[in-house]
Amino acid sequence: MPASDDRPDSPKPYRGRLAPTPTGHLHLGHAKTFWMAQKRAQERSQQGQLILRVEDLDQARCKPQYRSDMLEDLAWFGFRWQEGPDIGGDYGPYEQQQRRSHYAQIWQQLNQTRSIYPSPHSRKDVAQALSAPHEGDREIIFPIQLRPNTWETVADPGDVNWRFRVPDGETITFLDQNLGSTSFTAGEDFGDFIVWRRDGFPSYELAVVADDHAMTITEVVRGEDLLLSTAKQILLYRTLGWDIPDFYHCPLVRDEQGKRLAKRDGARALRSLRQQGITPEQIRGGWRV
Ligand code: GLU
């Protein structure tokens, strides 16, 4: 690292990430968002770093075959990362399944400040909590009447769900690097959200914040359907007293009917396009990225 980066006032070197979930094959939507992430890492800083992190918390749905196909598809498309599960790095492990003790520490920090509470109520959002919420997943606003007024201090999460208590009525505003100023109001656009599930897993929201912070990510590039998650995640950063990264949300790639591409749309999977003899250059040719 050059001496200039040691100056306290010099900007932090850019660190971005690709954070796929191996529950299916990567499709054009992933490729486009990830390409933007790679481009920003390359353009924004000469020492821009890109990290590959496998978000495989959902053991039931993440398959080893998808994981290995994913690495192959990413490399075929032209992605290059400087840290990741296949090459290691200073901030590993790079697979969320192997980071559970780290998430437990974050639960502890949130527990100590009583920003989270045990919630025996089992609702649909508990089931959804492991994976990132995507377009079409209905936002479930937890009724505040179900918040406990008091609860015992405990040393570990036990077998109960935990929720983050949102500041009702507060508007969370952030400057999205693509969309500009973006706002959501706690208690209206989203409610007390799950941070820990009673089966011992952290939620997507907790895991992603814990990892982006631990891996010193300076900018998060991801799909527009995660905008609302960004507001929730900002609340976690704030509560934990951590620097908030920049966010750049990309438009979603849609099919002819206007629906967001999903992993079940095999026809747009990078593997099928490759099998049809289509090259990455041809795919990128139609993009303005
Ligand atoms: N792993 C998430 C997904 O595949 C992305 C999460 C993120 O970029 O924050 O949808």
Ligand 1 center to 5 CA (angstroms): 30
Q: Any bridge partners for residue 149, and if so which?
A: none
Parallel, antiparallel, or unpaired: how do β-strands 171-176 and 161-164 relate?
unpaired
pLDDT of residue 280: 97
Give the tokens for residue 218. 């300076």
Strand 180-185 with 171-176, pairing? antiparallel
Instruction: Provide the domain limits for residue 272.
Output: 10-284
What letters, b where the CB count within 10 A reaches 16 and e where it falls short, cover 96-110?
beebeeebeebbeeb
The alpha carbon of 20 and the centre of ligand 1 are apart by a number of angstroms equal to 6
Instruction: Kindly report whether the peptide bond that precedes residue 93 is cis, defined as omega within 30 degrees of 0.
Output: yes
Q: Is residue 177, in this structure, part of any structural domain at all? A: yes
SS3 1: coil
* Total Cβ atoms within 10 A of residue 190: 22
Strands 246-250 and 180-185: unpaired
Q: Is residue 132 in contact with ligand 1, taking CB distance under 6 Å? A: yes
From ligand 1's centre to the CA of 222, what distance in Å?
Answer: 7
CA–CA separation, 234 vs 240, rounded Å?
10
* 157 within some domain: yes
Tell me how many domains the chain contains.
1
Residue 2 in any domain: the answer is no
The answer to whether the CB of 54 is under 6 A from ligand 1 is no
Probe ligand 1: pick from 33, 51, 67, 204, max atoms within 8 Å of CB? 204
Q: How confident is the model at residue 266 (pLDDT cuts 50, 70, 90)?
A: low
Nearest to 193 by CA among 203, 181, 179: 203
* Assigned domain for 3 exists: no
- Would you say residue 5 lies in a domain? no
The CA-based angle 179-182-186, given to 5 degrees, is 150
For residue 289, being part of any structural domain is answered with no
**pLDDT at res. 289:** 61
Which tops the pLDDT comparison, 256 or 244? 244
pLDDT greater than 90 at residue 286: no
Residues 132-167: tens digit of each pLDDT: 998 888 898 999 999 999 999 999 999 999 999 999
More confident residue, 124 or 280: 280
116 CA distance to ligand 1 centroid (A)?
A: 23
3-state SS, one letter per residue, for 207-242: HHHHHHHHCCCCEEEEEHHHHHHHHHHHHHHHHHCC
pLDDT score recorded for residue 66: 96
- The response to whether residue 208 sits with its C-beta less than 6 Å from ligand 1 reads yes
Residue 4 inside a domain? The answer is no
Q: Residue 1 — very low, low, confident or very high, per pLDDT cuts 50/70/90?
A: very low
H or E element, residue 19: none
Task: Using DSSP, state whether 196 is helix, strand or coil.
Answer: strand
Find the 223 Cα to ligand 1 centroid distance in Å.
8
Instruction: Give dist(CA 209, CA 225) in Å, integer.
Output: 17
Between CA 235 and CA 250 the distance in angstroms is 22
Q: Is 20 in the pocket of ligand 1 (CB under 6 A)?
A: yes
Separation between Cα atoms, residue 57 and residue 69, nearest integer Å: 18
**Taking a C-beta distance cutoff of 8 angstroms, is the pair 83, 51 a contact?**
yes
Q: Assign residue 277 the CATH number of its domain.
A: 3.40.50.620
pLDDT at 68: 97
pLDDT tens-digit map of 108-138: 999 999 999 999 988 788 888 889 998 888 8
Question: Is residue 199 assigned to a domain?
Answer: yes
